[in-house]
Amino acid sequence: MIKNNTVIILVNYNGFDDTRNCIKSIKQSIGELPFIVIVDNASKDLDKLELLKTDYELLKIIYNEENIGFGKANNIGVDWALKNLETNYIFLLNNDTVVEQDSIEKLIDNFPSDAETILATPKILTYEEKPRIWYGGGYFNFFKMSVNINKVGQNNHKLKSKYVDFASGCALFFKTEYLKSYEIFDSAFFMYDEDVELCLNLKKEKKKIYFINESIIFHKCQGSQKESTRKEINQLHPKNPNLKFYLSLTIPNRFYIIDKHFTSYDKHKRKITLSVYCFSKAVQYLIYGNLEMAFLTIKIVFKSFNIKLSK
């Protein structure tokens, strides 16, 4: 088996330029260079991906025959790494990121040594001339069945490294030992909120997540979306041109999380509060004149209660 202290998993879907730039930034890392596993979800530019091996030797590319989504692709990458590499850490990283030179080293140096802490996460800034905070630690918001992010959208400034409830799927730095008996992402998810479900699982298992302010990566913000939406942090905003795609995935996922993780009174309470939030979004879409998205939102809510709704 190949020995390497850190393995990075990148999922690629028609994002060659992002993936190449991410690898370029990783190549500048201080200390031992990590091994990189790219899991490709049936992209059109496969010939380009092979060229990356000439620039970065510690590289494995796994080709999926179809787009199986973000979570499943990461699971495949982790599974390959566990079977073929000897490593202490596995870093799940979005391909539309740029890594600061010392970020990986700082994740390792500042990772708590206790057995309960199995996941660390860096500070994530937007990739623009004046970076803003995209992720600075997070905690659950059960009204929306989502999360609130500390200082999101604010100018970059020093935050306190601390334990948090939520780590973004954009950058998850795991102790490998934990992953040997654990599938990271629920295969029911195609995209979005799989990281929320993951963190709920960790909380149930009394595992800890540590936010490390000193480690920084830059995120192009929703690289799976079109360029025009990359600076739009709230993907449920009525002006998001990809709203239908995002809405049709994220809201059903949130109801799925409730059904999976809560029972009895808690389940009904959380489904009702999420429904209230969804109806408020439907009203917002109506105000913006988007009848289609308003109807879709209501339809998803009704479906979660097994109520059929037709136009």
Place of tokens 């973000």: 70
Indicate whether 310 belongs to any domain: no
Mean local confidence (pLDDT), 292-310 = 86
Residues 118 and 26 in one domain: yes
3-state secondary structure 40-107: EECCCCHHHHHHHHHHCCCEEEEEECCCCCHHHHHHHHHHHHHHHEECCEEEEECCCEEECCCHHHHH
Q: What is the pLDDT of residues 224-239, one digit of tens each?
A: 444 443 444 478 889 8
State which of 95-99, 125-129, 262-266 shows the largest mean pLDDT: 95-99
Tokens of 217: 């990566």
Tokens of 62: 């796994």
Half-sphere exposure of 119 (CA within 13 A, CB side): 26
Residues 191 and 253 in one domain: no
Residues 293 and 176 in one domain: no
Residues 95 and 126 in one domain: yes
Residues 174 and 97 in one domain: yes
Model confidence at 222, pLDDT cuts 50, 70, 90, reads low
Model confidence at 2, pLDDT cuts 50, 70, 90, reads confident
Indicate whether 229 belongs to any domain: no
- Range in 65-69, 153-157, 249-253 the model is least confident about: 153-157
Note the pLDDT of residue 223.
44
Tokens of 273: 């509060």
Give the global pTM: 0.91
Indicate whether 89 belongs to any domain: yes
- Rounded CA-CA distance 81/86 in Å is 8
Note the pLDDT of residue 121.
98
For 239, the 3-state DSSP assignment is coil
Tokens of 124: 């994530």
Model confidence at 221, pLDDT cuts 50, 70, 90, reads confident
Cα angle at 151 between 158 and 27, to 5 degrees? 60
Q: What pairing do the DSSP bridges indicate for beta strands 117-126 and 208-219?
A: parallel
Q: Are 246 and 146 in contact (CB under 8 A)?
A: no
Q: What is the pLDDT of residues 153-199, one digit of tens each?
A: 899 888 999 999 999 999 999 999 999 877 899 999 999 999 999 99
Q: Tell me the pLDDT of the chain averaged across its residues.
A: 91
CA distances from 38 to 49, 50, 59, 171, 283 (A): 9, 11, 8, 15, 41
- Rounded CA-CA distance 124/117 in Å is 20
Residues 128 and 8 in one domain: yes
Q: Which residue has the higher pLDDT, 50 or 107?
A: 107
Q: Is the dihedral of CA 193, 195, 200, 201 positive or negative?
A: positive
Residues 74 and 131 in one domain: yes
Q: 200: closest CA among 145, 273, 149, 148?
A: 145
Q: Would you say residue 88 has pLDDT above 60?
A: yes
Residues 18 and 134 in one domain: yes
Residues 52 and 139 in one domain: yes
Residues 243 and 213 in one domain: no
Q: Are 209 and 199 in contact (CB under 8 A)?
A: yes
Give the number of domains in the chain: 2
Residue 143, domain CATH: 3.90.550.10
Range of the domain at 288: 234-304
Indicate whether 117 belongs to any domain: yes
Indicate whether 146 belongs to any domain: yes
Indicate whether 186 belongs to any domain: yes
Q: Which amino acid would we find at residue 62? A: I
147 forms beta bridges with 140
Residues 255 and 195 in one domain: no
Residues 178 and 239 in one domain: no
Domain end residue (candidates: 224, 245, 272): 224
Indicate whether 211 belongs to any domain: yes
For 3, the 3-state DSSP assignment is strand
Domain end residue (candidates: 224, 257, 278): 224
Model confidence at 81, pLDDT cuts 50, 70, 90, reads very high
- Rounded CA-CA distance 122/173 in Å is 8
Domain end residue (candidates: 196, 224, 252): 224
74: which residues sit within 8 A by CB, 6+ positions away? 9, 11, 39, 92, 184, 185
Indicate whether 54 belongs to any domain: yes
Q: 250: closest CA among 288, 217, 293?
A: 293
